[in-house]
Amino acid sequence: MRTRLPLLLLLALAVPAHATEVYRCVDARGRLAFQDQPCPPRSRQRILNLPTPPPAVPAPALAPPRPTRSAPPAPPPRPALPLPALYRCIRATDHKPYLSTIGDPQPYAVPLAVLGIQPMSMTRSAPGIGAPVRPPGPPTPLASPFTGYYTWVQDRCAPLPRAAVCANLRERLDQLDTRIEHTFQFDRAPLQHEAATLRAQLQNCR
């Protein structure tokens, strides 16, 4: 029976590395077998001398992985800042509302005509209205009988509730984030500082 070369190669790989002899056995039924020990009785035996396999070549050592450059640690969050006091004020001249951080604004002088009041003579005053006063400073040139007459007014303000203050801060932060996104890199520093302040204040709104 002819032995094929691939079968011998497979057998060479299967035997221990120190074996140099392989027994080719054919039993009474003609079945072929290769083994590393003598064949059983009544089998035809043939000894094959196989070359000792060369020593295994050690695999090249793997280079240590290059250290990856880790991202710089994120800056610690700013500590919470107290909520600012906000006031809803009504302007004395046109009764329009606005927000302010000052709850007791200073009085200011406005022309009587702005309030829809027709100025009277300095010697005659309308009932309930005192003689108008001029604001400090140099006298204002009179272009008509009504210009130059002033009275003192003051805006009225009331504090905003906490929920309204938080809503205002969130709205301002959203607007700031949009501005930062559309601003050149070298112009962002003051806007980012203001946004960080708003975030620190909003920590008290959770």
> Could you count the other beta carbons within 10 Å of the beta carbon of residue 49?
7
d(CA 90, CA 97): 5
**pLDDT tens digits, 9-19:** 455 455 444 55
- Higher confidence at residue 102 or residue 125? 102
Q: Is residue 122 pLDDT above 80, yes or no?
A: no
The pLDDT value recorded for residue 141 is 41
d(CA 12, CA 32): 16
Both tokens of 163, joined, read: 């929920």
What strands lie across the sheet with 32-35, from one edge to the other?
32-35, 21-26, 44-49
**pLDDT tens digits, 127-171:** 444 444 455 554 444 444 444 588 999 999 999 999 999 999 999
**pLDDT tens digits, 92-103:** 999 999 999 999
Q: Is the distance from CB of 32 to CB of 40 less than 8 angstroms?
A: no
Domain ranges in the chain are 5-49, 81-122+144-160, 162-205
Q: Read off the pTM.
A: 0.49
Say which residue the tokens 């309308």 belong to.
Answer: 126
* C-alpha gyration radius of the chain: 50
